[in-house]
Amino acid sequence: MADIDPKLLMAGVVAVVAIAALVFALWPRGKSEAEEIDRRLGVDDRGKLDTSAEARRLVKSQSPTLVDTFKSMAPRIAAPLSDEEQSKLKQRLLAGGFRSETAPLVFLASKTVLGVVVAGITFFLTWKAHHRPLNVFGLTAGIGMGAFMLPNVWLSLAIGDRMKKIKKGLADALDLMVIMVESGLGMDAAIQRVGTEMNEAYPQLAEEFRICNAEINMGLKRSEALESLGNRTGIPEIRSLASTIVQAERFGTSVGKTLRAQSDMLRMKRQQAAEEAAAKTAVKLLIPLVLFIFPALMIVVGGPAMMGILESFSKVEK
């Protein structure tokens, strides 16, 4: 196999670094996760929500110049999607916590650019290595397609991680809402208070509650805001909670009792999930036991005995 041309390798590295720098520059970032959430929601240093700037801060990026430039470039780079596919992509990005206006454009462009660049680098490296043409095109197509699908895998992992974090704090948030509602606060005030108090422990869940409160302050009905909360997160427990609260208010039942019942149900589900995971542990341990521990144990225990038997047979033969 021929040596790889250093210039070609350096060109590939520079291309990858340039693409990574472009995506890093366009993606909205903050000093920390909690501070970025506060910035998008318009929370000042005292923890108060600035509802007058709420709609603008939820949809605008940090740099309008970069946004406008990327908008003009995106149709040439990103693959075109139908309205339904764009809506699904935006919903997935929202579930992953990416609310920037440029998030769909950056995501689509990253898929296309990453696939093309990785495929190009693979083609030149395999061609310079004097592989057969069939192998060159096969590796180029396979690795390029894998690189094209990598952003989808990354987004799925981000959505799953965010959903786990939201589910983890949902029961505690409901307990806090029960205390506030039973102490005399209204439902809107309870949602706002939960969004403020839970920011340190569960920033993702607090962000969703503050967005729900901002939608209510901007004139959206509480039932619609709660329904939007469930659809935005994609978590069945939150959808069930939203529908339960709406029904309790519609039929005049106690919201505090409803929230307490939901909290108890969530804790029971968490306990059942932990018991299920503990029950699966014994089955999962069979694989390392059979493949690694049992063979080593047989060698340690039966090895000396087998050596003794072999020595006895050798003496008998002599």
Same domain, yes or no, for 227 and 267? yes
Asked whether residue 73 is domain-assigned, the answer is yes
- Do 159 and 171 have their domain in common? no
Does some domain include residue 55? no
Do 184 and 223 lie in one domain? The reply is yes
Q: Answer yes or no: are the C-beta atoms of 43 and 57 closer than 8 Å.
A: no
Q: How much is the pLDDT for 6?
A: 60
Contact 47, 76 (CB under 8 A): no
Same domain, 127 and 250: no
What DSSP line would sit under 21-53, residue for residue? Answer: HHHHHHS---SSHHHHHHHHHTB-TTS-B-GGG
Between helix 133-182 and helix 203-217 the angle, nearest 10°, is: 70
Residue 232 falls inside a structural domain: yes
What's the pLDDT at 18?
59
Task: Tell me, yes or no, whether 224 and 138 share the same domain.
Answer: no
Return the bridge partners of 49, or none: 43
- Identify whether residues 198 and 272 lie together within a single domain: yes
Looking at the fold, whether 275 and 177 belong to one and the same domain comes out as yes
- Does one domain contain both 126 and 188? no
Q: Which residues pair with 43 in a beta bridge?
A: 49
73 and 176 together in one domain: no
The pLDDT score that the predictor gives to residue 5 is: 59
Out of 130, 163, 196, pick the residue that ends a domain.
163
Tokens at 90, concatenated: 């935006």
Q: How many CB atoms lie within 10 A of CB 241?
A: 24
Torsion angle, alpha carbons of 300, 301, 302, 306, to 10: 70
List the domain range (segments joined by +) for residue 70: 6-30+61-163
Same-domain pairing of 192 and 278: yes
Q: Which residues, listed in sequence order, are joined to residue 125 by a DSSP beta bridge?
A: none
Contact 96, 159 (CB under 8 A): yes
∠ Cα 51 56 62 (to 5°): 125
pLDDT tens digits, residue range 248-287? 878 877 888 888 888 888 888 888 888 888 888 888 888 8
In a domain, 43, yes or no: no
**216 and 230 both lie in a single domain:** yes
Q: Examine residue 50 and state whether it is found in any structural domain, yes or no.
A: no
247 closest CA partner among 264, 261, 234, 266 = 261
Pair (88, 104) in one structural domain: yes
172: nearest Cα among 268, 241, 266, 38: 266
In a domain, residue 48? The reply is no
**Predicted local distance difference test score (pLDDT) of residue 300:** 86
Averaged in consecutive runs of 10 residues, what is the pLDDT profile of the chain (318 residues)? 55 62 53 51 49 45 47 49 79 85 85 87 86 85 89 91 88 87 85 87 89 88 85 85 82 81 84 87 85 85 83 73
Tally of domains in the chain = 3
